[in-house]
């Protein structure tokens, strides 16, 4: 569905996440700043640095915490949502309601990156080529601290990572308290970034919550399935799928109004910069 991706600005209206993470939209989205003291946003040309205000607030709080916990000093932020959320033409199934964000598993370089660098620099894959282990040359304990910091934030619903990463977390934490790990769940891809998903905000009655995480830390037999040969051979796109084929009628009815609403005046100042680059 190209409709939502054609909207360069958020809709007028009170901020609300509408629908389900892979089937919904975002009213009154806010823009996350491209550059902060402890973060930079990558892939600016995609215009996906929008979210529910809870997500922007989360990132502003999380970036300095994660930078400190890892010793990385600064972090790199990938896709959030389109200005009005909705299905994305490529890259993700979810990220539709302004509560999902990808955060790179690597430190931000110690300088402000150019627009071009933000398009072209790639994150390093921390998973080995066999898909069964982390790559010891790239993976480090800083990655553990990074993921743990995300999982420990109360507004976080899930942290999705590659199964090889989950397996390594289970191994490293061994007999330690692994309760923080219950939110960290395996998913396709996610070998060079983590996917952080926030809970439905209190101000969004039409946001559909994800079922609660299963009991336990997930360091059990349920993990084995991810290492079956046929699963490892599946070529699920980089980020875990796409939402191609989804139609406007598949979304909550309120999303048609979001799509057709005038642009939010608060965003008018950014209009020029948000035009196609
Ligand atoms: Zn993601």
For residue 266, what pLDDT is reported? 64
What does the CA dihedral 218, 91, 44, 186 come to, rounded to 10 degrees? 10
Are the CB atoms for 96 and 243 separated by under 8 Å? yes
Q: How many angstroms separate the alpha carbon of residue 92 from the centre of ligand 1?
A: 6
State pLDDT tens for residues 134-184: 999 999 999 999 999 999 999 999 999 999 999 999 999 988 888 899 999
Mean pLDDT of 97-111: 94
Q: How many angstroms separate the alpha carbon of residue 194 from the centre of ligand 1?
A: 7
Taking the model in full, what pTM does it have? 0.92
Q: How many angstroms separate the alpha carbon of residue 241 from the centre of ligand 1?
A: 10
Cα(41)–Cα(60) distance, integer angstroms: 12
| Strand pairing class (75-77; 100-107) | antiparallel
State pLDDT tens for residues 107-129: 988 899 999 999 999 998 999 99
Q: How many angstroms separate the alpha carbon of residue 19 from the centre of ligand 1?
A: 17
- Give CB contacts under 8 A, 24+ apart, made by 63-68: 63/36, 63/37, 63/38, 63/39, 64/37, 64/38, 65/149, 65/153, 66/38, 66/103, 66/145, 66/146, 66/149, 66/150, 67/38, 67/39
Cα(4)–Cα(127) distance, integer angstroms: 33
């Amino acid at each position: 569905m190209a409709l939502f991706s054609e909207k360069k600005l958020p809709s007028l209206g009170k901020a609300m996440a509408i629908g389900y993470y892979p089937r919904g939209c975002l009213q009154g989205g806010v823009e996350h700043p491209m550059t902060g003291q402890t973060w930079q946003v990558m892939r600016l040309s995609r215009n996906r640095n929008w979210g529910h205000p809870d997500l922007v607030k989360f990132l502003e709080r999380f970036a300095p915490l994660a930078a400190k916990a890892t010793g990385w000093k600064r972090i790199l932020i990938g896709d959030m949502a389109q200005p009005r959320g909705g299905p994305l033409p490529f890259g993700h199934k979810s990220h539709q309601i302004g509560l999902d964000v990808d955060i790179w598993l690597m430190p931000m370089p110690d300088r402000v990156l150019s627009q071009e660098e933000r398009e072209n620099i790639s994150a390093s894959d921390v998973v080995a080529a066999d898909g069964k282990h982390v790559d010891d040359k790239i993976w480090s304990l800083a990655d553990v601290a990074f993921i743990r910091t995300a999982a420990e934030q109360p507004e976080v619903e899930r942290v999705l990572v590659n199964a090889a990463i989950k397996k390594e977390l289970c191994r490293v934490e061994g007999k330690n308290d692994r309760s923080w790990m219950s939110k960290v769940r395996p998913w396709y891809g996610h070998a060079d970034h983590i996917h952080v998903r926030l809970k439905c905000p209190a101000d969004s009655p039409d946001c559909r919550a994800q079922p609660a995480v299963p009991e336990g830390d997930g360091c059990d037999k349920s993990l084995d399935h991810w290492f079956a040969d046929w699963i490892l051979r599946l070529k699920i796109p980089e980020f875990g799928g796409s939402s191609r084929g989804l139609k406007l009628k598949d979304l909550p009815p309120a999303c048609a109004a979001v799509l057709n609403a005038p642009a939010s005046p608060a965003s008018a100042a950014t209009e020029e910069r948000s035009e196609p680059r």
